[in-house]
Chains A and B, each alone.
Chain A
Amino acid sequence: MDKSKKSKFITGLVITGIIVLLTLWGMIKTPYDPYAMDSGAKFAKVSFSHFFGCDQFGRDVFSRVLIGIRETMFIAASVVFIGVFFGTILGMITGYFGGWLDEILMRFNDAMLAFPSILLALVIIGIFGPGKYQLIAALGIAFIPSFARVVRGEVLKIRNLDYVLSVKLYGASDLRILVVHILPNLKTVLLSTVIIGFNNAVLAEAGMSYLGIGVQPPEPSLGRMLSEAQAYIYTSPMSAIFPGLVIVLMILGFSLLGDTVGKKH
């Protein structure tokens, strides 16, 4: 690893570490009740008692950001899980067996890949209706094609390697070859795809919640906090800036890691 790559990796690791710590903090306890409204603290400035100030209802922005990070991480992790799980199964089957099934599924896959995942997710939300779990399902489905393509490409390469051919000669079943001999070799490729997928999921979640079709109020989410604070941008710009900066940090951390991990072993 050369020097600039190394410093990128370390920066990414530190930023992601901070985000993970904040997620854990949000899971254990927040400094204030994120739902408690306090009319006296309305639009309170940034101070030691309120790190990020207060919003239009006097709710502590820092506590809400902590919960928002937790929500975003939960949604992004679920989305990536759905995408990886079904994408890997689909990619392994089509890549390994080939034939007409591969032909049909990959045509469909390519057609889906041509559309931005946000657009796909919007279509699916249009069918399911708005909400947190609907958003997870929508983004999860929208993410399957990209994972399927990566896995398929890798399986195509591995399938004809000598060691796979020799276990085949020993009479190993297709299922055994796929699970025992091919799956473990997908690790490296999956690692960087998962990180990039995580990055995209955070971005998509924030965007959808900003539009009001993701996490529903009163539950805090980073995207929603931005859109709510935008109405008060003249009086209290800080309540918009902090949640936004946290989104930027999350994406920056994951993208730095994704750029440096795995790609070229």
Chain B
Amino acid sequence: MRYALRKIATMFITLFFVSVIVFFSFSLIPGSPAMNKLGTEATPESIKALEHEMGLDRPVAERYGKWLLGVVRGDFGKSYSYNQPVTKLIADKLGATLLLSVMAIAITILVSIPLGIFMARKSDTKLDIFLSGFNQLIMAVPSFFSGILITLIFGVVLRVFVPGGYISYKTSLIRCIGYLVFPAFAIALPKISMVSKLLKDTVMAESGKDYVRTAYSRGNRTKSVFYKHVLFNALIPVITFLGMAFADIIAGSIIVEQVFSVPGMGRILLSSISGRDYPVIEAIILLLAFFVVLSNLIVDLLYHKFDPRINV
């Protein structure tokens, strides 16, 4: 329990630092957002007036304090280019991205763990060599390219889904999931090969250890030794990896969303980067950072549960 509390405290400290760094680096950028908004026709007076209206004439520290107070209450300020609250702008986009990321991690776990076990049991057979080579190849395919290939095979040739025909989860959750399965697979593919390879390697390493030999010598059956002892220990590094992979998957979904035209955080992040809409960028980065840190926290806690010796 104390361990968990300490971890949660560290998580908030990290987020605080992220918010400081993000806010201050965006206020260091030369050029005034008010000037961008008004265009080249702006007079110095109108820029001054708008800056005052946006609160940009206040000192940075004061603006940061105000912003942070808002963020704690779920208010990320106002978008420069859309003239509406950032929270409203990104709320349902966040839902699409999270749903996609969770589906991708679920697919990764569901496929890679049985696959890894299978590869470990068949190790050094022709099938294993083939699967390992195939894994190596899959790892080299970037998710946006596998996304395009999936679109081509399942969308254009087999016509299983309509490319670009995303249906919001608010309209129909089932049809939304039915569409997101394809991008989720594109994101999951390289992770599946990494996790299954890692699991196979750790299972092989664990199987050679003394405690396994002891378990056999005491007359346990192969199956029970494997599932009760070897697999349990072999899963520990896999959990760490999955935690890191989740952060990667969230970042990866930003790219794959573009392939499948899913209106998630990726699209709005890109348009606000090119439109220099800083409040939106800050909000998205902070939210993504929150989910990354949260997934790290979950991994740390799971890790602690699986292996109580770990106390970092």
Contacts and interface: CB of A to CB of B under 8 A. Distances in A.
Interface of A: 4, 8, 111, 114-116, 118-119, 122-123, 125-127, 129-130, 203, 206-207, 210-213, 223, 226-227, 230, 233-234, 237, 240-241, 244, 247-249, 251-252, 255-256
A252 B137 contact: yes
A254 to B, nearest CB: 9
B144 A125 contact: no
Contacts of A255: 136, 139-140
Given A119-B254, A244-B148, A252-B140, 8 more contacts: A114-B296, A115-B289, A116-B247, A118-B248, A118-B252, A226-B145, A240-B152, A244-B145
B148 A230 contact: yes
Secondary structure dominating the interface of B = helix
Given A211-B270, A248-B145, A115 B26 contact: no
B273 interface: yes
A127 B273 CA distance: 8
A251 B143 CA distance: 12
Contacts of A127: 25-26, 28-29
A247 B272 CA distance: 28
A42 B263 CA distance: 31
B162 interface: no
Contact of A226 (B144, B163, B285): B144
A210 B258 contact: yes
A116 B293 contact: no
24 contacts: A4-B129, A111-B14, A111-B18, A114-B296, A115-B251, A116-B252, A118-B251, A119-B254, A119-B292, A126-B26, A127-B26, A127-B29, A130-B274, A207-B142, A210-B144, A210-B258, A211-B266, A212-B270, A213-B274, A227-B258, A248-B137, A251-B141, A252-B136, A255-B139
8 tightest A-B CB contacts, nearest first:
A252-B140, A116-B251, A244-B145, A251-B140, A119-B251, A118-B251, A126-B281, A116-B248
B142 A206 contact: yes
A207 B258 CA distance: 11
B22 interface: yes
A122 B215 CA distance: 50
B118 to A, nearest CB: 19
Contacts of A240: 148, 152
B292 to A, nearest CB: 6
Contacts of B270: 211-213
B292 A114 contact: yes
Q: Which has the most chain A C-beta neighbours within 10 Å: B137, B144, B163, B247?
A: B144
Nearest to B155: A233
Contacts of B259: 230
Interface in B122-149: 129, 136-137, 139-142, 144-145, 148-149
A223 B144 CA distance: 9
Contacts of A123: 22, 281, 285
Contacts of A210: 144, 255, 258
Contacts of B139: 255
Contact of A211 (B156, B247, B255): B255
Contact of B14 (A114, A125, A126, A129): A114
Contacts of A116: 247-248, 250-252, 292
A237 B18 contact: no
A203 B142 contact: yes
A116 B249 CA distance: 9
Contacts of A129: 273, 276
B166 to A, nearest CB: 15
A130 B142 contact: no
Given A123-B22, A252-B140, A255-B139, A115 B145 contact: no
A231 to B, nearest CB: 10
Contacts of B14: 111, 114
A230 B18 CA distance: 36
Interface in B4-37: 14, 17-18, 22, 25-26, 28-29
Interface in B257-302: 258-259, 266, 269-270, 272-274, 276, 278, 281, 285, 288-289, 292-293, 296
Contacts of A256: 136
Contacts of A118: 248, 251-252, 254-255
B274 A226 contact: no
A217 B292 CA distance: 33
A222 to B, nearest CB: 10
Contacts of B289: 115
B79 interface: no
B108 interface: no
